[in-house]
Amino acid sequence: MKNKSIFQKLQERIKIAFQVRLCHFIDKLVINSTKYNLQKNTLLIMRLDAIGDYILFRNFLEELAKDKIYKNYKRVLCGNIMWKSLFEEWDKEIVNHVIWIDRKKFYQNPSYRYQKQKEIRKQGFEITIESTYSRLLLFGDAIVNVSGAAKRIGNEGNTDNLIEKEKKLADSFYTQLLQTPNKPVFEFDRNKIFFEEFLDKKIQLNYPTLTNKIKVVEKKQNQIVLFIGASEVYKTWHFENFATLILELYSINNQLEFILIGGKNEQVLAKQIIEFIEDKNDFENQSEVTDLTGKTNLIELTQKIAESNLLITNETVASHLGTVTRTKTICIANGRHIGRFSPYPNNYELPTSYIFPPKIEEELNQNNKEIVYEKYCNSMGMDINEIEMERVLEEIKKVLD
């Protein structure tokens, strides 16, 4: 079995190496076969990361749109198709055109990659910017290179997603790299630093906002939403913890209504939570727990969060949606990327609080937070299930009081 495991790993490495070489070959083929014709006053804005990253980036699209120089440019966004629905609901008027990228197909499907890269190169962009801090060689960097733009401006970045050899190659694709702090900085602030340097002016934004982008709703005081999943298992608080928390809160206030939200991947967790609660027989009926996992799109999910009095969530896109909709939010996090994506800085004065595993919280209480951020930011964090239900309940009472 051991030899088979080694063989499987070798096969996987060979497959990845082949795919990487194929991507590079396609990119070179596009460069060599598609003429670049400079079109003045055109700007390509790269952003291919996840939904949460988009929420912490999107306000700067408006800064570009109202800048005295770039408001007169044709501004084209190259975005991750994962957040297309949110963009079209909130921001479609801010840019002139969008090129959507399905990252999985862009990596795995040679024909798709060729067509997308050719589409971008043919537009002859004068300037391309890539503000992502943890850049990816085969995605944003590769598109910047193929674009052929006269000015290709990127974030100096780090090596979270690149080994040194790859970063050296990726850096060579740019005509200019802008510096942002080489330490944990909350991602919205890092984006602000990048765009202030790019635009050569101060930006009057203090935190991410959805001003006038979402329907004004009256909070339902007894409605609590729980986002029960996460992108990775190590970021997911155990379903029994969520179930026990619901039972405890219901015993305190039997008027509360609980809504389980998430994607299709969370439907199994929702079923386990409801079955756990049914076994305890603490509810007079099950109408107080509504399962909406896999039944809402991103817009509907955002609206459901916005109308609720409290959101309890793992560290995922929901924590950012809770913050920008000004919903009281408690985020249960394991400490991965602490200082970059969690917690929201105190000076933002937003209704979002974070709970970390006990050791991290202890160190935050004893040390300068920057020291703790440096220690854990680039680690995998700690076991999220070391966070006990009682600690979350304590935070809920404090938030609701």
Q: What is the pLDDT of residues 247-273, one digit of tens each?
A: 999 989 989 999 999 999 999 999 999
- Provide the pLDDT for residue 288: 84
122 in helix, strand or coil?
helix
Please name each of the domains of the chain with its CATH number.
33-199 (3.40.50.2000), 220-400 (3.40.50.2000)
Contact 144, 154 (CB under 8 A): yes
* Cα dihedral 371, 184, 321, 229 in deg (nearest 10): -70
Span 203-245, pLDDT tens digits: 999 999 987 777 767 899 999 999 999 989 999 999 999 999 9
- Provide the pLDDT for residue 1: 45
Taking residue 158's Cβ as centre, other Cβ atoms within 10 Å add up to 15
What percent of the chain has pLDDT above 70? 97
Structure tokens at 85: 């629905």
Span 260-315, pLDDT tens digits: 999 999 999 999 999 999 887 656 555 589 999 999 999 999 999 999 999 999 99
pLDDT mean by block of 10 residues, the chain; 401 residues: 71 91 98 97 97 97 97 98 96 97 97 98 98 97 98 95 94 98 96 98 94 78 96 94 94 93 95 91 68 95 95 96 95 96 94 96 92 93 96 94 77
Taking residue 257's Cβ as centre, other Cβ atoms within 10 Å add up to 16
Taking residue 234's Cβ as centre, other Cβ atoms within 10 Å add up to 14
In whole angstroms, give the CA distance from residue 82 to residue 360: 32
> Which of 108, 56, 114 shows the shortest CA–CA distance to 83?
56
Give residue 328's identity as a one-letter amino acid code.
K
Reported in sequence order, the residue ranges of 280-336 that DSSP labels E, i.e. its strands, are 289-291, 308-314, 328-332
Strand partners, 224: 258, 310
Contact 75, 65 (CB under 8 A): yes
